[in-house]
């Protein structure tokens, strides 16, 4: 099992460019999440999904879109990148069992210049 993987690991974008971050999990988890981590801010939820074909907004959704066309994949899109979106992005997945444990990917460091 690879667990949760994220592609790419690093990326530099110019302001206004677009990109998609891919999260994939091979654990058959229903729930998937996208977070951003900024210094002194902890992890903040961007968007999440409770199942294939469903998505919902989190705490800081502006400037991002997501799609969950397949159960194992959760895509995060930036249509027009801004310097304020410079951050480390984490994906996580979870099965809604007694443990409620989230499994995290290794993160993607994105810099927008």
Partner 1 sequence: AQTVTQSQPEMSVQEAETVTLSCTYDTSESDYYLFWYKQPPSRQMILVIRQEAYKQQNATENRFSVNFQKAAKSFSLKISDSQLGDAAMYFCAYRSIANRDDKIIFGKGTRLHILP
Kindly report the CA angle at 74 between 107 and 95, in degrees rounded to 5?
90
Pick one of 66, 75, 94, 110: the residue that binds partner 1 (CB under 8 A). 94
Pick one of 90, 93, 110, 112: the residue that binds partner 1 (CB under 8 A). 90
- Using a 10 angstrom Cβ sphere, with 0-12 exposed, 13-18 middle and 19 or more buried, the burial of residue 102 is middle
Tokens of 13: 């974008």
Start-to-end C-alpha separation, the chain: 36
Q: Nearest distance from residue 57's CB to partner 1, in Å?
A: 10
- Binding window for partner 1 (CB under 8 A); candidates: 11-19, 50-58, 63-71, 73-81: 50-58
Q: Which residues sit at the interface with partner 1, rule CB under 8 A?
A: 31, 33, 40-45, 48, 50, 56, 58, 88, 90, 92, 94, 96, 99-102, 104, 106-107
């Amino acid at each position: 099992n690879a667990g949760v993987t994220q592609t790419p690991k690093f990326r530099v974008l110019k302001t206004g460019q677009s990109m998609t971050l891919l999260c994939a999990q091979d654990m058959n988890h229903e729930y998937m999440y996208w977070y951003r981590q900024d210094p002194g801010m902890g992890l903040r939820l961007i968007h999440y999904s409770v199942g294939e074909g469903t998505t919902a907004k989190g705490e800081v959704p502006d400037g991002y879109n997501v799609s969950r066309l397949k159960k194992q994949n959760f895509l995060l899109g930036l249509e027009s990148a801004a310097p304020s979106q410079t951050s480390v992005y984490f994906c996580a997945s979870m099965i809604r069992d007694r443990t409620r444990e989230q499994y995290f990917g290794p993160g993607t460091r994105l810099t927008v210049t």
